[in-house]
Amino acid sequence: LLRLSGIIIEFTIIILDTINWGYIYPIIRPSLAEAIIYLTAAVSVIYIKRKLVKFAFFSLIMPVALITTGIACHNRFYNKDLCINYIDVGLGDAMLIEAPRGVRLLIDGGGFYGSDFDIGRAVIGPFLLAKKITTLDYVINTHPHQDHSAGLQHVLQYFTVRNFGTGMAGPEPGNIRNIVNVRKIPLLNMQTGDRLRIGGDTDIRVLHSYFSPDRVNDSSLVLKLAYGERTFLLTGDIGEEIERSLIIHSNNLRSNVLKIPHHGSRHSNTLDFIRAVSPDIGILSVGPGIRGIPSDEAIARFKTRNIPVYRTDRDGCIRICTDGRKITVQSENR
């Protein structure tokens, strides 16, 4: 049975190599429907001298291909919704922001401590390609811990990145810094009070940027994304002390969606901070790896205020979209 399975797999690989002519049709990681259209067009070209095939090619296949391409381009560059994808990367953070007019941002890239598993190559890269994204306008690393930065190495190396942003803590030393330098990617040192306008009614404010070599989690960038009347607070791995500082120094923490700080640690997510943000939805990016994260105490604080919490370890990738007023939530497992 094992030999038979090996023969079948080898035969399948030969077939795939044979029909892999390269995608002239301008798409990345085509869906089944797109692949069928492409292959049908390719076969039609071979037999184009036949009248019936020629008629079908110019009257049906080409119009369908052009219409689907036009719809895809329109949806990307003229779509007025903003969507944030909280990608399931285990105990780490990775968020893809799809802003209006085709602007794309990746904030953090997940990763695992003490592991050679390349989450950028295995998860982040395929996720981007499945969305037909090969260019990112911004890649931002909130702080240089592996569970937030390791997956960015693959993205910075193999995707077109127009800007790379970090806080006061700076980028992860070693490979990321080298890749940014070698590929000559513009480096943005984001500081408290900075504002990043990404077109239309969309902008990002830096609420916190700080560096202490002994408190790297507290050095996380805290970003507030606003689109129309709706706001998203991205908190990295900040702890209780930084939460208190934000309450004191920030004019308005109120946000519709809160990325729960430090994966639900009991040393974060104080009741005062939750009250100040007063979110309608909490997003918990979490997975196995550290005992006590997420903590029952932190989760209970959201329950006492009747705030629904979506978790990547249970709900998979969580996608939140807004037109500036209405918010919709989709997840893989709900």
CA 133 to chain centre: 11
With 0-12 CB in 10 A as exposed, 13-18 as middle and 19+ as buried, what is 249?
Answer: exposed
Q: How far is CA 277 from CA 108, 267, 274, 307, in A?
A: 22, 17, 5, 11
Name the nearest CA neighbour of 38 among 18, 13, 65, 68: 65
Distance CA 137, CA 135 (A): 7
Distance CA 311, CA 210 (A): 28
Residue type, 14: I
Pairing state of beta strands 230-234 and 257-259? parallel
Beta bridge partners of 164: 139, 187
Residue-wise pLDDT tens digits, 14-23: 877 776 655 4
CA 79 to chain centre: 18
Contacting residues for 274 by C-beta, under 8 A, at least 6 apart: 258, 301, 302, 305, 307
- Gyration radius of the chain's alpha carbons: 23
Regions in the chain scoring below 70 on pLDDT: 19-28, 76, 170-174, 334
What is the reported pLDDT for 191?
A: 94
pTM as predicted: 0.85
What is the reported pLDDT for 23?
A: 45
